[in-house]
Amino acid sequence: MKKSILVLGMIAVTMSCGKKTENTINDVSNRDSLAVNESDIQIDAIPENCYMEATGKDSLFVRLSDNLGTVTGKMHYKNFEKDSSFGDLVGMADGDTLKLEYTFQAEGTTSTREIWFLRKDGSLIEGIGDYNETGEQYKDTKLLKFTGGHTLKAADCKGFDKNLK
């Protein structure tokens, strides 16, 4: 009796496995090998953070995305009685420090300069230091101070893009 149950169990397993394999083969053979079902793709949005500072009639707007330490974003200095600038940020996060390159438009020309921010208590604090002769890189990043510069507070990103144009 035990042998009969064992044999019937093995036959049932074999038949169900064979049947499953057959269905899978039929399903696969009916599909285009290059077709991708959009509902099968899950893309997690990279979180964005927005920051701003307003001093008198001058404003500074920053939108950042941090994808596993690679930081990208946009920045816009809106100045009242002097030239404004706007452009792209790209760089990396090193702990709470963002080491970025700002490629921007100002006075009809494109320029690049290094800019560092410190993330602290939900704010961004701009690093202040001397730039080299070209004005593109800090002379010595060890001498940067994160006091006395721009301190941007967290802002709602909804509708924020209008500030970046």
DSSP conformation class of 2: H
What pTM was computed for the model?
0.69
pLDDT at 14: 46
pLDDT at 120: 95
Distances (CA, A) of 34 to 22, 40, 63, 65: 21, 14, 37, 32
**Per-residue pLDDT tens for 2-56?**
444 444 444 444 444 444 444 444 454 555 555 666 555 555 667 899 999 999 9
Q: What mean pLDDT comes out for the span 84-103?
A: 96
Q: What is the DSSP string of 60-94?
A: EEEEEEEETTEEEEEEEEE-SSS--EEEEEEEEEE
Q: What mean pLDDT comes out for the span 101-112?
A: 94
Q: Which sequence spans correspond to the domains of the chain?
A: 2-40, 48-164
Mean pLDDT, the chain, as a whole number? 81
Q: What is the DSSP string of 3-29?
A: HHHHHHHHHHHHHHHHHHHHHHHHHHH
Q: What mean pLDDT comes out for the span 108-135?
A: 95
Of 76, 105, 72, 104, the residue nearest 89 (C-alpha)? 72
